[in-house]
């Protein structure tokens, strides 16, 4: 997942903010003849502020966040001062007596708010996701609504919008370079979609809604973090039947860290839950761990998220109506690749029957094994992973535990480094002396042809106060305009630490996740654009997952497996085992696709449902019942833990994006296979030149057509899943 921080209002606030509109936005302006690229203004010495959070990032490598100076007590005064500084900049732009031009309006906005950008990234991008302590949450409760109000103050500034619209409509703009034309359109389009043309009363109400939503989003995340930290299953040695030794060791280390030395802990995160459900022979414990995980935020207590969800949905619907849209989903997709909810729903429902049919096959195979063993059970959701593993062994003679022995976390990290070198010429070198926000974080310099590209931070381990799952976060976007600003990016995961000196063994799915999130980092590191607002992953939600999804494909290449899939003794994975992995590549796709699609369809349907009182759990039962979801599995993200769509507006009515991007992904990877293979230098260069380096300088649909020569076809996706092609018998 690409972590989306929406509260920031610096360096193109009008682009970063959740945009809303009165009517469907027109297409971006057509490219015009090339004009000369703008020159960055001479570098001026950055001002020095008493509050360290406001200061420019200094040090080698183009500067970096000074985490050693961060104090939670400084967040509130830093944010307030940064907003005041940015307000003065915005007022100066809006009240400029000179005729509006691209330079004195759009480029001025691109330069504005840099102190706020720095504070916001540390406050909202890093501390909120990684170090959410009670003290931090108290600041968050107060400041998030204020940040939302300030964001609205900018996007609803009538003088500022008048200048943006004047530039957008100016004949002079049509003579600018295409990326400049698109930037002017992005500012105009997103300002309109944020309510710039509303009357004062409607603007006021939109602002009130945004402030309330900011509070609700923060509370949703805080509740989820509390649920993940508070529900731990502690086991005795005689309750570990079936678990691999490496997993036992990790569980022992987790228990000791939590003050339960001599016991074994299953924490309430996917990276801990998933392997336990896969291997534990104790069905009652599997049920307990499963229910703990899938009931997060749904315990009818002080951390229950149900009422928060209901209020979020009503506010989103009201806001969309104010802006001329029938539902939040219609507003959300207006400027995405899909364009309409119908288009997104059609894609999902086209895949759904094949996925459901595969689930029924998978369950039948599992039930047959359970019956043969005399288990006397009907397969339940907490049995799926356990019996799935038995079917894998029976059908493919493939033991995931055996595969896991060759997947060491450090080696998979080295694998993505090597892949990045082969495709894009990057080299990664760990550096010392760069401060980090936690001792577990390591920092790497990224270079290409001997030149500095950026810094990459790795934060691999689970801990209290950290969001679950895995994500990528850009701390600083690439920009030629801002003094050739270099990229700073991080990848964050939640693996359980092993005992000192022992390797951390991960599952195949975990390894895919690492390649996926690193794909986001590569998108940011490859960025080669002028303006920061258009850099890297600042693209449409249903395109942003494409570079990360396609990057998953390189994990299973022989070049990666032979070099980096090694056991603790350094022995490479046997070719026979690799052949089994490849043969079983479409195994269990019914479960994987269906649990995802159930969440994505639910997301879209609940945002199309209108503005009445909606109980998230009841809507879940009705939606999934209507779809015919098999009883043996549930949504990947049940409503009260669905942070993608209820901790911000980022992926709301947009979870379909993973499927949309995966269709692009498989179609694009087939282009590599058709033209020299995964490591073909010419194809890698073309992919870099047309996709990875372009950011949001052109329409993303056109980006893809520039690479593939046509729009994407669904056939590659269906082949990769082992599903029948359209019209096949």
Residue 727's pLDDT band (cuts 50, 70, 90): low
Please count the residues of the chain.
729
Predicted local confidence at residue 726, as pLDDT: 75
Taking only the tens place, the pLDDT of each residue in 309-321 is 999 999 999 999 9
Instruction: Please tell me which residue in 179, 472, 517, 703 is annotated as part of the active site.
Output: 517
Confidence check: pLDDT of 513 > 50: yes
What is the location of CATH 1.10.1370.40 in the chain?
A: 13-197
Predicted local confidence at residue 30, as pLDDT: 36
Judged by average pLDDT, the poorest of 128-132, 497-501, 511-515 is 497-501
Arithmetic mean of pLDDT, 123-143: 95
Q: Which residue has the higher pLDDT, 46 or 264?
A: 264
Q: Which residue has the higher pLDDT, 424 or 41?
A: 424
Q: For residue 103, give every residue at least 6 positions away whose Cβ sits within 8 Å of its Cβ, in sequence order, or none.
A: 38
Taking only the tens place, the pLDDT of each residue in 230-262 is 899 999 999 999 999 989 999 999 999 999 999
Taking only the tens place, the pLDDT of each residue in 628-660 is 999 999 999 999 999 999 999 999 999 999 999
Q: Please check whether residue 365 is in contact with residue 395, taking contact to mean a CB–CB distance below 8 angstroms.
A: yes
Judged by average pLDDT, the poorest of 21-30, 309-318, 539-548 is 21-30
Taking only the tens place, the pLDDT of each residue in 666-697 is 999 999 999 999 999 999 999 999 999 999 99
Confidence check: pLDDT of 23 > 70: no
Q: Please check whether residue 400 is in contact with residue 389, taking contact to mean a CB–CB distance below 8 angstroms.
A: yes
Diameter over CA atoms, the chain: 84
Separation between Cα atoms, residue 408 and residue 419, nearest integer Å: 16
Predicted local confidence at residue 579, as pLDDT: 93
Confidence check: pLDDT of 416 > 90: yes
Confidence check: pLDDT of 549 > 50: yes
In CATH terms, the fold of domain 13-197 is 1.10.1370
Q: Which helix (H) or strand (E) holds 454?
A: strand 451-461
> Does the pTM of the predicted model rise above 0.75?
yes
Residue 11's pLDDT band (cuts 50, 70, 90): very low
Judged by average pLDDT, the poorest of 20-29, 429-438, 561-570 is 20-29
* Residue 22 DSSP code: S
CATH number of 409-548: 3.40.390.10
Confidence check: pLDDT of 114 > 70: yes
Predicted local confidence at residue 643, as pLDDT: 95
Under DSSP, is residue 626 helix (H, G, I), strand (E, B) or coil?
helix
Residue 401's pLDDT band (cuts 50, 70, 90): confident
What is the location of CATH 3.40.390.10 in the chain?
A: 409-548
Taking only the tens place, the pLDDT of each residue in 586-618 is 999 999 999 999 999 999 999 999 999 999 999
| Closest among 14, 33, 327 to 175, alpha carbons compared | 33
| Closest among 469, 493, 464, 494 to 226, alpha carbons compared | 464
Confidence check: pLDDT of 1 > 60: yes
Residue 399's pLDDT band (cuts 50, 70, 90): confident
227 assigned to active site: no
Chain-wide mean pLDDT for the chain?
92
| Beta bridge partners of residue 234, listed in sequence order | 265
Confidence check: pLDDT of 342 > 50: yes
Predicted local confidence at residue 596, as pLDDT: 97
Q: Please check whether residue 480 is in contact with residue 697, taking contact to mean a CB–CB distance below 8 angstroms.
A: no
Predicted local confidence at residue 39, as pLDDT: 46
Q: For residue 433, give every residue at least 6 positions away whose Cβ sits within 8 Å of its Cβ, in sequence order, or none.
A: none
| Closest among 304, 348, 493 to 416, alpha carbons compared | 493
Confidence check: pLDDT of 29 > 70: no
Taking only the tens place, the pLDDT of each residue in 47-105 is 889 999 999 999 999 999 999 999 999 999 999 999 999 999 999 999 999 999 999 99
Predicted local confidence at residue 83, as pLDDT: 98
Separation between Cα atoms, residue 29 and residue 595, nearest integer Å: 39
């Amino acid at each position: 997942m690409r972590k989306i921080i929406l509260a920031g209002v610096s360096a193109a606030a009008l682009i970063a903010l959740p945009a809303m509109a009165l009517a469907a936005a027109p297409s971006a302006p057509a490219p015009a003849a090339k004009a000369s690229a703008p020159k960055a203004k001479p570098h001026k010495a950055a001002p020095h502020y008493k509050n360290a959070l406001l200061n420019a990032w200094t040090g080698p490598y183009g500067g970096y966040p000074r985490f050693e100076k961060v104090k939670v007590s400084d967040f509130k005064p830093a944010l307030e001062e940064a907003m005041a500084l940015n307000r003065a900049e915005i007022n100066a732009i809006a009240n400029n007596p000179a005729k509006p031009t691209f330079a004195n309006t759009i480029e001025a906005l691109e330069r504005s708010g840099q102190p706020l950008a720095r504070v916001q990234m540390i406050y909202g991008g890093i501390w909120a996701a990684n170090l959410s302590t009670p003290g931090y949450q108290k600041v968050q409760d107060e400041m998030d609504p204020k940040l939302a109000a300030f964001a609205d103050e900018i996007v609803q500034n009538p003088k500022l919008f008048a200048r943006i619209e004047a530039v957008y409509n100016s004949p002079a703009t049509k003579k600018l370079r295409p990326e400049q034309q698109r930037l002017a359109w992005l500012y105009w389009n997103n300002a309109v979609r944020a309510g710039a043309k509303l009357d004062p009363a409607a603007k006021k109400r939109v602002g009130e809604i945004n402030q309330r939503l900011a509070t609700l989003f923060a509370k949703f995340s805080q509740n989820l973090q509390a649920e993940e930290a508070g529900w731990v299953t502690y086991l005795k040695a005689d309750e570990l039947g079936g678990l691999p030794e490496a997993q036992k060791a990790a569980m022992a280390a987790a228990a000791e860290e939590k003050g339960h030395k001599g016991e074994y802990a299953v924490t309430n995160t996917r990276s801990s839950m998933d392997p336990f459900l896969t291997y534990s022979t104790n069905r009652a414990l599997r049920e307990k761990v499963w229910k703990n995980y899938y009931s997060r935020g749904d315990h009818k207590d002080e951390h229950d998220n149900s009422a928060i969800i209901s209020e979020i949905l009503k506010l989103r619907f009201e806001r969309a109506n104010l802006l001329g849209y029938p539902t939040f989903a219609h507003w959300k997709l207006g400027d995405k690749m899909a364009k309409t909810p119908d288009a997104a729903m059609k894609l999902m429902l086209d895949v759904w029957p094949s996925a459901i049919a595969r689930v029924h096959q998978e369950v039948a195979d599992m039930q047959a094994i359970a019956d043969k063993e005399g288990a006397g059970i009907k397969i339940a959701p907490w049995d799926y992973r356990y019996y799935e593993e038995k079917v894998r062994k029976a059908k493919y003679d493939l033991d995931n535990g055996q595969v896991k022995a060759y997947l060491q976390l450090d080696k998979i990290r080295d694998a993505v480094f090597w892949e990045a070198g082969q495709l894009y010429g990057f080299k990664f070198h760990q550096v010392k002396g760069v401060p980090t926000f936690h001792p577990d974080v390591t920092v790497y310099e990224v270079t290409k042809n001997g030149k500095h590209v950026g810094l990459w931070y790795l934060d691999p381990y689970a801990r209290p106060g950290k969001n679950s799952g895995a994500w990528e976060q850009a701390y600083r976007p690439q920009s030629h305009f801002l003094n050739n600003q270099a990229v700073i990016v991080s990848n964050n995961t939640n693996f359980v630490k092993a005992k000192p000196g022992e390797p951390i063994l991960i599952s195949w799915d975990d390894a895919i996740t690492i390649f996926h999130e690193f794909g986001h980092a590569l998108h940011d590191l490859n960025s080669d654009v002028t303006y920061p607002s258009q850099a890297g992953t600042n693209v449409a939600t249903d395109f942003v997952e494409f570079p990360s999804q396609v990057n998953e494909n390189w994990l299973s290449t022989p070049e990666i497996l032979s070099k980096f899939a090694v056991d603790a003794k350094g022995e490479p994975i046997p070719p026979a085992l690799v052949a089994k992995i490849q043969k079983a590549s479409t195994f269990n796709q019914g479960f994987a696709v269906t649990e995802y699609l159930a969440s994505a369809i639910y997301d879209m349907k609940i945002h199309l449902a209108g503005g009445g009182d909606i109980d998230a759990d009841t809507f879940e039962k009705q939606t999934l019942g209507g779809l015919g979801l098999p009883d043996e599995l549930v949504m990947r993200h049940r409503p009260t833990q669905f942070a993608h769509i209820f901790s911000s507006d980022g992926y709301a009515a947009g979870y379909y994006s993973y499927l949309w991007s995966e269709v692009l992904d498989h179609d694009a990877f087939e282009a590599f296979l058709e033209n020299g293979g995964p490591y073909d230098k010419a194809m890698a260069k073309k992919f870099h030149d047309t996709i990875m380096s372009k950011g949001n300088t052109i329409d993303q649909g056109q980006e893809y057509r520039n690479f593939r020569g046509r729009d994407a076809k669904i056939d590659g996706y269906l082949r990769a899943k082992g599903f029948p092609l359209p019209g096949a018998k």
